[in-house]
A and B are shown apart, each in its own frame.
Chain A
Amino acid sequence: MRSGLSRTDIQPRLRDLVTRLYQNIPTGIGKGRTDLRLNRQELSRVLGRGAAWAVEKGMGVSEDLEYLEENGCLEGARPDLVSDKAYQRGRNQLGTLGSGNHFAEIQYVAEIYDPTAATALGLFSDQVTLTLHSGSRGLGHQVCSDHIRIMVEAAARYGIELPDRQLCCAPIQSPEGRDYLGAMSAAANFAFANRQVMTHWARESFMQALHLGPSQANLEVVYDVCHNIAKFETFEIDGRHRRLCIHRKGATRAYPPFHPETPERYREVGQPVLIPGDMGRYSYVLVGTERAYSETFGSTCHGAGRRLSRKQAKKQTRGRSLLDELEREGVVVMAAGMATVAEEMPEAYKDVAAVVDVVEGAGISRKVAQLKPIGVIKG
């Protein structure tokens, strides 16, 4: 999200702002807010409608939906194919960040590489931005577990030869394939709704901490992209339109300028791509390119990638005060668990700048801006 604020506007109240975010957005593995409890029927609606569900409940504005991949709702979602166990796990988790690599981060625009694209994306130097990184939580995890079990058996039954059992799969047109796509799309819709709810609470946090009205904080969605998804997309290959099922796992869609699904506002520059780095260094805003469309089915990287395992990272932080270290670097961090902060410390990640330079060098994305973190909440 972009705001109408500059870094100097929020610096004096930064700690209050991080505290408000931390109070308003539940983090860690625990439950969500008591004012957002869903019964099964309501949760089923979330799974069918995605982010639009939240907007209809007053969490966000309809304009937000224009800037979400697939407008925040995958067609073909089948809430009825999501298991009871997955419903159970998702029941109290809507509007929660989770743990692991999920985060909400307040940043500022530190560098602009492409002024024209930055203007189209509404970004300017020193501007305050906010990035949310979270997904379908326990509900999606359960959907994946449920269907891996089914697919191992299905792959054998359909006589699909696999070099590794973990590649278990089923024909897209088979009952098992369709059931997985339906349930997975429902989980994806939960993730869209989850971020939409947190977007709303992030806006409230800004207003509360900075004593601003909605138009003054002016937090607008730049874009929302998936990065663990399989969905149908149409590509022109050798002059023929083909409907393909694109699997992106830790990869982001990066559609070019003038693609019908690129929002009107970004038509001439391409679809925005958000590449989170670690919480000490920087993240990037990129745009998709024609070359990505023709070569990688409109895909690019997702993030930095780990350099140290979680275990190694924890070992290296023994005896250190990470929160103080980060604060000296100008980043205020609040987290539900210190173990997560240790696992997620900056040195645990590769330098995302090197990753972004490769995708730009290869021509499958273009750099627009670099964002630096100043406030982070984590699970």
Chain B
Amino acid sequence: MRIEQIDEFRWRIPRQGKMQVEGLVFASAEMMKEIGQDHSLQQVSNVAHLPGIIGASMAMPDIHWGYGFPIGGVAAMDGKKGVVSPGGVGYDIN
């Protein structure tokens, strides 16, 4: 997967294939070495495929692998045309 550094704390996963938006990860260079060893960056890119996603598929520096969506993930969906996913919330609701 291609990952580009935007600034000291921002990393972009450019759109490829059927991604609707790009991925945006907040992390330091040191964290990036560890992040993604558990496929969580792939999950950020997967979430970017969802219909109606707005802006970017985002991940916070505490990101790690979760069911479908990474834990530490943020996804904004269009209120009319978007989708809602239980994996985007997880089991421990609220």
Contacts and interface: CB of A to CB of B under 8 A. Distances in A.
Interface stretch (A15-23, A118-126, A164-172): A164-172
Contacts of B74: 246-249, 251, 296-297, 299
A232 B79 contact: yes
B9 A166 contact: no
A67 B82 CA distance: 30
A148 B86 contact: yes
A251 B83 contact: no
A176 to B, nearest CB: 9
Contacts of B69: 167, 247, 249
Interface stretch (A4-12, A138-146, A318-326, A370-378): A138-146
A249 B73 contact: yes
Interface residues of A, number: 71
B68 A305 contact: no
A180 B89 CA distance: 11
A343 B67 CA distance: 20
A243 B79 contact: yes
Contacts of B75: 246-247
A141 B92 CA distance: 6
A153 B5 CA distance: 38
B41 interface: no
B93 A144 contact: yes
Given A192-B94, A247-B73, A361-B9, A242 B89 contact: no
Interface in A323-379: 350, 352, 354-355, 357-359, 361-362, 364
Interface residues of B, number: 54
Interface of A is mostly: mixed
Given A136-B94, A247-B85, A251-B73, A299 B31 contact: no
A26 B12 CA distance: 44
B49 A140 contact: no
A358 B60 CA distance: 9
Interface string B60-89: 111110111111111111111111111111
Contacts of A357: 28
A188 B94 contact: yes
B75 to A, nearest CB: 4
Given A144-B93, A305-B63, A168 B87 contact: yes
B27 interface: yes
Interface in A123-174: 135-136, 140-141, 143-145, 147-148, 151, 160-164, 166-173
A299 B58 contact: yes
A86 to B, nearest CB: 10
B74 to A, nearest CB: 4
Contacts of A244: 54, 76-79, 82
A188 B76 contact: no
A230 B52 CA distance: 14
A119 B37 CA distance: 41
A180 B84 CA distance: 8
Contact of A249 (B54, B71, B79, B83): B71
Contacts of B60: 250-251, 299-302, 355, 359
B84 A181 contact: yes
B88 A230 contact: yes
B26 A364 contact: yes
B8 interface: yes
Contacts of A168: 68, 85-87
Interface string A207-244: 00000000000000000001111101001010000111
Given A100-B92, A245-B78, A297-B76, 9 more contacts: A136-B94, A147-B86, A160-B83, A167-B46, A169-B83, A172-B80, A188-B93, A228-B94, A305-B62
18 contacts: A135-B94, A162-B50, A167-B68, A187-B94, A192-B94, A228-B89, A235-B76, A242-B79, A245-B78, A245-B82, A247-B74, A247-B84, A248-B73, A250-B72, A305-B64, A354-B30, A359-B26, A359-B61
Interface of A: 100, 135-136, 140-141, 143-145, 147-148, 151, 160-164, 166-173, 177, 180-181, 184, 187-188, 190-192, 226-230, 232, 235, 237, 242-251, 296-297, 299-306, 350, 352, 354-355, 357-359, 361-362, 364
